[in-house]
Every structure is written in C-alpha cells, then in structure tokens.
C-alpha cells in the first residue's frame, strides 16, 4: 500500500488546525473524552502550514519539514501538522520520526481517523501486523458503522493467512454496509481457498438469495452442493443457470455429471448426448457417454464412443479403458487383451490400463501373464485391495502359498472388516488341510461380517466337515444352498457330506446338480456317474 501525498485546503486546516473542532466520535460522546477548543487558528502557523503543503506537492520534503516545524512552534496542539510531518518524514525514509508524529497526533486527539489510518498503513508496510491490527481495532471503535475499517482489517488478516478471522471480518463488513457485495464475495473465495466448504456453502447461498441470476454465484454454489451430494438441489441450480445464459455444452455436461452421480443414468445420458451435439470433439463428453452405456449394460454402444475417443486422442487412456471394459462386459477377455496389450507399455504408469489387462488375463486363467500386469498396477497403487485380492487368489491357485498367505494377512491386518479376505484365506487353508482350527476361527469372522453370504457359509461348513463335525457342517452347507442354488462347488460339498454319512442317493442327487453347472469337471463327473 502506497501512502499518497495530500494537500490540505484552507477550509480543512481551519476545521482541524489547533484542534479547534475535534472529529465527532460515533461512540461514547462523554465530555471526558471530547475536548473542544474554540480559538481561531494561528494565522502565522496557518501560513507555514500552507507553504509546507506546496513543498509537499513538489516533493520537496526537507523544506516542507522546516515549514511544518515552524508551524508547530506556533501551534503545538495541531494534529494536522503532525500528520503532515509524519508524511514528509516517511517520504524521506525517517520511519521512526514518522511514527512519533503520528502517535503525537493521536495523543492530541484519540479520535484522529487520518492519523490512525496512516499509522496502520505504515505498520503494514513495515510488516508490524499486530500493531496495524490494533489501529484498525481503534478505528472500528471510533467509527463502528464505517465498513471500510472492517474491510481493511479483513484484508490484513487475509494477507496473514488468518482465514477464519478474515472471513468473519469480510462478512461483518457486509453486514455493516449491504452495498459491499464484494466483501461477501471475498469471504466466499477465502472459504473455498481455505477448504472451509460448509462456510463457503453458507455464504454462496446468501449471495444466491441476493442475486439469483448471477451465474458466478450459482455455479460456485452448484459445485459445492454437488460435493455435498445434494444432487437434486444442484440440478435445480444448473437449470437456473441455463435459464440465464442458455444451454451450453459445459452446463449440459455438468447436468450429466449430476444425474450420473444420482445413478439416474438415462437422464445423465440425455444431457451428455446434448453436449455431444454441441461439441463432438470433447474428450470428457465422449468418455462419460461411453461410461454411462457401460453402466446401462450396453457395451456395444459404449464401445462405439470409446473408439471415438481413441480416434480423437490416442494419448487419452480412457478410450482404451472403456473399449476394454466393453469387451469384458461381454466376456470377450481376449479382445480386451488385444486392445490393452498394444498400449500397455505406452501407459506404463496408468493404473486402469495395467489392472484391466492383468484382470483380463486372470479371467482367461493365464496366471503368469496376469501377474506381470497386476504387479505393475500394484506398483502404481500399492494399497489397491482389488489387486491384492486377485494376486492372493492367483498365487493360491499356483500353490505359491507363502505369497498368498502373506497377501491374505496383509489384507486382514489392514482392514479387520474384509470378510472376503477372511473367507478366502480360510478356504485356502481347508483345501490344503492346514491349520484347520485357525481356518475355522477366521471363517467365523467372515460369516459374522456377512451372515447371508452363501460362499462364506459353505466355507465354514466345509471346515467343520474336515474337523469331523458332520452334523454341524450339514446345517451350514444346506443353509448356503438355500441362499444360492447354482454353485457347483457348494453342491459338490453337500454331496460329499451325504456320501460320508452313507446317504448315497442324496449324494448322487447333489453331485448331478453340481455337474449341470460344471460339466467340464471330470472329477465331479465321476462322482455323479460312478461306474
């Protein structure tokens, strides 16, 4: 902030010189705090003062100081002389002398607004912010209805990164003077910068009530309530924006995002398609159209828009990801591999590419290839639980049990509510016939977390069977089948329990049911149709 030179008019000097009339304070007007002097200004002092103003206008501050000192000898109680002296000393770099004179002016008249404002400005320039803040507090006490003092203090707090204080002061400035909309705007901007989202929402809803057709206010408020997942209200706000500025690609896209978040996919697709009509070269629009089609289980349409994105920008990984997902949605895993393998090295730091390629190989039981890309993905996202689960299953199937056990334990230790990890670890152990008591313990944790999961109930029952608790095993496995009738593994388990219990006909019945769902299983075929 630069302190500007000013020329006092004769009228101003007559009003202020010699403290002939002190400024009327807007608070506490008791006689003990107001001193009035009725004498006329000293003519000789006035002459020196006016000569000094002329020198100040010419930037001749040394001569101005000489004239002002002469004026001060003739009238030592004139606060305006001290203020001009402070200004001149400041221009000459004599900081302490400037401060002394401003403090003298304030001691002569504690309600001297100009002296306090100048002193506050000088403190700010000198980075003495606490001292400046004290002057702003005094100014607010003197003129509580002057919003400019609150505004200046708010700016100071913002410069010091005192977000809460600054926001509070900007809001106070607006309450004092409702014409200061900019103060409320600055409070909202600071709240966003400080990530105080609820405060920002409160301020922006106030701004929207003040001017319901201001697109900037409406847009900011819409973004905030979208983050708060208030999608219905956000949709109404976006509609208001489009009423004001017309339908634009950006607004249509924003509406599409809102309805996508609300899981109202058809409405979402409609907005994205309208945005596409306006601009068919927007990668974000193409990506979301493809994504919505995939969510709607329309992979062919998703594939079309994914390919459009690839043609538009072959450096955008989203096109390849959506194209691969479209193929995988139709169980065309080799096609997904062909789409992704060509670009896997180019996008070696793109999690989605590496993960999907590894998953596509895994679905084809090509475990060695799957491990290459899943491990790449894991390096990109070391805490990805999806990858850790798949890696555990693959290593288990490859009988790399040291690795699979370590992965299961990592999953369990990092999340004690991961029922799938408990179950899969338990099932791995029972299939190996190892640590069955521990397997039973962690299997119980799985069904405690998910008591209606058919696979988890079967695991627990199967462990009981291996421990010789046949009746208990039968109850759990039968309950599993009641929940899910088409799982070949569970049906086979029940057949094994019946066979162990010498209920051969019942066993054959369930073996044959299982075989209907797994007709490529030779072991199961021999059980279902013994010689």
- CATH number at 103 reads 1.25.40.10
* Pair of tokens at residue 409: 């334990």
User: Quick one: average pLDDT of 454-466?
Assistant: 95
Q: Please indicate, yes or no, if residue 5 is contained in any of the structural domains.
A: yes
Nearest C-alpha neighbor of 151 from the set 168, 126, 164: 168
What count of other Cβ atoms lies within 10 Å of the Cβ of residue 330? 13
> Does position 109 have pLDDT exceeding 80, yes or no?
yes
What is the pLDDT of the chain when averaged over all its residues? Answer: 88
Q: Are 310 and 323 in contact (CB under 8 A)?
A: yes
Q: What is the pLDDT of residue 242?
A: 83
> Does position 34 have pLDDT exceeding 70, yes or no?
no
Q: Which domain holds residue 84?
A: 1-22+34-139
CA dist., res. 16 & res. 84, Å (int): 12
Nearest C-alpha neighbor of 463 from the set 450, 476, 452: 476
Q: Please indicate, yes or no, if residue 8 is contained in any of the structural domains.
A: yes
> Can you list the pairs that 496-502 forms with residues at least 24 positions away whose Cβ atoms lie under 8 Å?
496/465, 497/461, 497/465, 497/470, 497/473, 500/465, 500/470, 501/470, 501/474
Q: What is the pLDDT of residue 296?
A: 95
Q: Please indicate, yes or no, if residue 438 is contained in any of the structural domains.
A: no
Q: What is the pLDDT of residue 38?
A: 40
Q: Please indicate, yes or no, if residue 399 is contained in any of the structural domains.
A: no
Q: What is the pLDDT of residue 37?
A: 41
CA dist., res. 218 & res. 5, Å (int): 43
Q: What is the pLDDT of residue 230?
A: 85
* Pair of tokens at residue 214: 């201001």
Instruction: Check residues 12 and 240 and name the one with the higher pLDDT.
Output: 240
User: Quick one: average pLDDT of 41-60?
Assistant: 90
Q: Please indicate, yes or no, if residue 441 is contained in any of the structural domains.
A: no
What count of other Cβ atoms lies within 10 Å of the Cβ of residue 59? 10
Q: Please indicate, yes or no, if residue 17 is contained in any of the structural domains.
A: yes
What count of other Cβ atoms lies within 10 Å of the Cβ of residue 399? 10
Domain total for the chain?
Answer: 1
Instruction: Check residues 32 and 202 and name the one with the higher pLDDT.
Output: 202
| Window from 122-131, 357-366, 416-425, 518-527 with minimum mean pLDDT | 518-527
Q: Please indicate, yes or no, if residue 38 is contained in any of the structural domains.
A: yes
Determine the distance from the C-alpha atom of residue 231 to the mean position of all C-alpha atoms in its chain, rounded to a whole number.
16
Determine the distance from the C-alpha atom of residue 67 to the mean position of all C-alpha atoms in its chain, rounded to a whole number.
61
| Window from 21-25, 29-33, 287-291, 351-355 with minimum mean pLDDT | 29-33
Q: Please indicate, yes or no, if residue 58 is contained in any of the structural domains.
A: yes
Distances (CA, A) of 87 to 3, 10, 95, 357, 481: 8, 18, 10, 73, 92
> Does position 216 have pLDDT exceeding 60, yes or no?
yes
């Amino acid at each position: 902030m630069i302190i500007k030179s000013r020329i006092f008019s004769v009228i101003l000097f007559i009003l202020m010189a010699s403290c002939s009339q002190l400024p009327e304070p807007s608070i506490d007007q008791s006689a003990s705090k107001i001193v009035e002097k009725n004498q006329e200004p000293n003519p000789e002092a006035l002459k020196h003062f006016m000569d000094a103003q002329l020198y100040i206008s010419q930037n001749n501050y040394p001569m101005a100081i000489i004239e002002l000192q002469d004026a001060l000898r003739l009238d030592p109680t004139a606060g305006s002389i001290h203020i001009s002296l402070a200004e001149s000393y400041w221009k000459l770099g004599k900081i302490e002398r400037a401060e002394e004179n401003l403090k003298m002016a304030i001691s002569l008249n504690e309600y001297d607004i100009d002296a306090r404002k100048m002193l506050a400005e000088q403190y700010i320039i000198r980075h003495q912010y606490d001292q400046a803040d004290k002057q702003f507090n005094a100014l607010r006490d003197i003129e509580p209805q002057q919003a400019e003092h609150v505004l200046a203090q708010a700016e100071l707090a913002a410069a010091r990164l005192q977000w809460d204080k600054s926001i509070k002061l900007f809001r106070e400035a607006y309450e004092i003077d409702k014409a200061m909309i900019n103060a409320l705007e600055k409070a909202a901007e600071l709240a966003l910068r400080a990530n105080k989202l609820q405060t920002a929402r409160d301020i922006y809803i106030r701004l929207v009530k003040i001017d319901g057709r201001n697109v900037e206010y409406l847009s900011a408020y819409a973004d905030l309530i979208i983050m708060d997942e208030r999608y219905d209200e956000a949709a109404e706000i976006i509609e208001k924006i489009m009423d004001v500025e017309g339908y634009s690609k950006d607004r249509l896209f924003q509406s599409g995002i809102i309805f996508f978040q609300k899981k109202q996919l058809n409405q979402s697709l409609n907005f994205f398609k309208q945005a596409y009509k306006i601009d068919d070269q927007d990668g974000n629009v193409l990506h979301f159209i493809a994504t919505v089609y995939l969510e709607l289980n329309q992979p062919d349409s998703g594939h079309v828009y994914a390919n459009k994105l690839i043609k538009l920008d072959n450096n955008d990984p989203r096109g390849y990801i959506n194209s691969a997902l479209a193929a995988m949605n139709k169980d065309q895993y080799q096609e997904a591999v062909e789409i992704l393998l060509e670009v896997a090295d180019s996008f070696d730091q793109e999690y989605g590419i590496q993960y999907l390629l590894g998953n596509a190989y895994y679905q084809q039981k090509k475990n060695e290839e799957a491990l290459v890309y899943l491990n790449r993905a894991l390096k990109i996202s070391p805490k990805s639980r999806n990858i850790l689960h798949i890696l555990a299953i693959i290593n288990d199937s490859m009988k790399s049990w040291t690795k699979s056990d370590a992965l299961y334990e990592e999953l369990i230790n990092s999340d004690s509510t991961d029922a799938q990890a408990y179950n899969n670890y338990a099932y791995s152990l029972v299939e190996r016939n190892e640590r069955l008591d521990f397997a039973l313990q962690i299997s119980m944790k799985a069904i405690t977390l998910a008591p209606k999961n058919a696979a988890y109930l079967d695991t627990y029952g199967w462990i009981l069977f291996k421990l010789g608790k046949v009746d208990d095993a039968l109850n759990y496995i039968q309950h599993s089948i009641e929940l899910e009738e088409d799982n070949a593994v569970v049906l086979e388990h029940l057949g094994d329990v019946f066979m162990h219990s010498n209920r051969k006909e019942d066993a054959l019945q369930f073996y044959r049911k299982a075989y209907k769902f797994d007709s490529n299983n030779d072991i199961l075929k021999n059980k279902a149709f013994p010689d």
